[in-house]
């Protein structure tokens, strides 16, 4: 029997600084979820009053296209890539884009990002995955 080609998914995480208020966030989540549904991308957008932290997963080309749209948006700035790696399972398979607001905890995302040890990429991924499952 011929083997099916193995197509790994891409798992991508970044954080950025918010330049918009709650109404704009609702709107962008609705639009982004529509794009993601059409492209086979799933994910989680965590936000506190100051930051966005977004987890995306899907076929590499589709995640890449979403990242270009995200980077072009003037609703945020200072995008910092925290993880980008192949994966074979989705964490958010039920959500085109789930949103989680961390109201009143403006330091939560900064604390998480600061606590990542970039010399240990696998440790970063594990920490990001467990954080995502905790807040989702
Ligand atoms: C924090 C943030 C998260 C976003 N997430 C996604 C996403 O998951 N998928 C996507 O296709 N676009 C995403 N975008 C891009 C927005 O969907 C895009 O800026 C919005 O649809 C505006 O598009 P328009 O300029 O075509 O109206 C994101 C943008 C921001 C600022």
**Confidence check: pLDDT of 25 > 70:** yes
**Confidence check: pLDDT of 114 > 90:** no
Domain architecture of the chain: domains with CATH: 9-135 (3.30.70.100)
C-alpha closest to that of 82 among 10, 14, 131, 11: 14
Ligand 1 mean position to 2 CA, how many Å? 39
**Confidence check: pLDDT of 3 > 90:** no
**Global pTM value:** 0.92
Residue nearest to atom 2 of ligand 1 (CA): 70
Helix (H, G, I), strand (E, B) or coil at 91: coil
Strands 9-18, 98-101: pairing is unpaired
What is the DSSP code (8-state) at residue 36? H
Going by pLDDT thresholds of 50, 70 and 90, the confidence category of residue 76 is: very high
**Confidence check: pLDDT of 121 > 90:** no
Tell me if 53 CB under 6 Å of ligand 1: no
Tell me if 70 CB under 6 Å of ligand 1: yes
- Mean of pLDDT values over 57-62: 96
Tell me if 36 CB under 6 Å of ligand 1: yes
**What pLDDT score does 73 carry?**
98
**What pLDDT score does 118 carry?**
82
- Mean of pLDDT values over 125-130: 92
């Amino acid at each position: 029997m011929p083997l099916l080609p193995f197509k790994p998914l891409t798992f991508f995480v970044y954080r950025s600084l918010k330049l918009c208020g709650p109404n704009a966030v609702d709107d962008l989540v609705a639009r982004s979820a529509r794009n993601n549904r059409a492209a086979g991308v799933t994910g989680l957008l965590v936000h506190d009053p100051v930051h966005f932290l977004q987890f995306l997963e899907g076929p590499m080309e589709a995640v890449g296209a979403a990242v270009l749209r995200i980077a072009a948006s003037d609703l945020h700035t200072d995008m910092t890539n925290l993880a980008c790696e192949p994966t074979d399972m989705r964490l958010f398979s039920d959500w085109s884009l789930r949103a989680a607001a961390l109201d009143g905890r403006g330091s939560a995302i900064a604390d998480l990002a600061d606590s990542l040890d970039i010399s240990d990429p696998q440790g970063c991924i594990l920490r990001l995955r467990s954080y995502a499952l905790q807040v989702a």
